[in-house]
Amino acid sequence: MIFTVAIDGPAAAGKGTISRAVAEAFGFAHLDTGALYRAVGVKGGDPVLAAQTLSPADLARDDLRTLEAGQAASRVAVIPEVRAALLAFQRRFARRDGGAVLDGRDIGTVICPEAEVKLFVTASALVRARRRWLELGGDAAERSLEDVLAEVQERDARDMNRTDAPLKPAADALMLDTSELTVEAATARAVAQVQARLAQMQG
């Protein structure tokens, strides 16, 4: 069965957590497409060459979840040649047999506009900055909440205003604002959406 769930949204909205939970609930394969861009960003050197030669070892690095990696990913993601190099890989993954969940910023709009389910997971910039700050250690973190908020807003502006595949919800995506939702509640809504679509296709 070919069944693609496209989950898009800005940094720290919860799309990764929701994507992994949805994949586990239905036995689908999961791809964090942001990890591809993070790996290209932290690999260094020529980003186009880095994208063309990306290996499993690059995706297994333990520094891909840092703020620095996120900023590096956002910088290389504006390069059309980098996006082109990673596009085919993502599309093959999305249409694999057995179902797939992909999370990123342009899955429903560019990578898989034909996805059976599209979700756009978002939250206010302050809520997302607080989540990221707490991940970094909260009061013990090297950065203040204000610094993290500024970085989140800077990244949002870059991702939403880039010429190639800007961050935006697909016209037919279900909007899921997690600002005041628990992880469990947000996941339940996503799972219900997938269940409804599967039932519709099987009916």
* CB 179 within 8 Å of CB 123: yes
H or E stretch at 158: helix 145-161
* CB 48 within 8 Å of CB 85: yes
Q: Taking Cα atoms as reference points, which of 79, 93, 76 lies closest to residue 6?
A: 93
Query: Any binding-site annotation on 73?
Result: no
Is 4-187 in CATH node 3.40.50.300? yes
Q: What pLDDT does 39 receive?
A: 95
Query: Any binding-site annotation on 173?
Result: no
Amino acid letter, 9:
G
Q: What pLDDT does 34 receive?
A: 86
Question: ∠ CA 8-62-103 to the nearest 5 degrees?
Answer: 10
Q: What is the CA radius of gyration of the chain?
A: 16
Query: Any binding-site annotation on 12?
Result: yes
Q: What pLDDT does 56 receive?
A: 82
34-76 pLDDT tens trace? 899 999 999 989 999 999 998 888 988 999 988 889 889 989 9
100-137 pLDDT tens trace? 999 999 999 999 999 999 999 999 999 999 999 998 89
Q: What pTM, to 2 d.p., does this model score?
A: 0.86
Q: What pLDDT does 31 receive?
A: 93
Query: Any binding-site annotation on 108?
Result: no
Query: Any binding-site annotation on 9?
Result: yes
> How many residues would you count in the chain?
203
Query: Any binding-site annotation on 99?
Result: no
